[in-house]
Amino acid sequence: MRILGIDPGSRITGFGLIEKDGNRLIHVDNGAIFTRSDAPLSNRLKTIYDGLTGVIADHAPTMVAVERIFVAKNALSALKLGHARGVAMLAGVNAGLPVAEYTAVEVKQAVVGYGKAAKKQVQQMVRVLLNLPEIAQEDASDALAVAICHAHCHHTNSLLT
């Protein structure tokens, strides 16, 4: 099973691809899609969508996992983030892929074993679990964590439905 994890953001959207082979997790690719903060939101969303559809076309994941994010800084930020999440989910659905969502607490619990783990702890565990030579770029590392969460939780979730 090849999983595309996505950490959506209106300025930077991280992505991470892993392969699950039995109990092994294998790093495939990771990166980030950067948008221009001075560009109109509609153009930024198109950049995110085009970037994710390119990643899907290049790497042929079998499923997508997106972080379910809650931001309370201000209403406008929350709306922009919601748009980015929607575009990320749409890219997966339009490719005919199942899309799962996980909260930050669920991701931290699955990766570190503690739902209130610090960001650095999550990044370090992602590096260790995927045998990476260094910690990935912050948004890409978060996306890899979402993919790892799905790899650990997918079978359990399918038993519950």
Name the residues annotated as catalytic. 7, 67, 139
Task: Choose among 107, 123, 133, 143: nearest CA to 14.
Answer: 143
| Residues 102, 65: Cα–Cα separation, whole Å | 7
- Write a three-state SS string for 132-144: CCCCCCHHHHHHH
| Residues 130, 142: Cα–Cα separation, whole Å | 13
| Residues 7, 136: Cα–Cα separation, whole Å | 13
| Residues 10, 139: Cα–Cα separation, whole Å | 12
- Residues 64/99, Cβ–Cβ less than 8 Å: yes
* Cross-strand bridge partners of residue 14: 7, 32
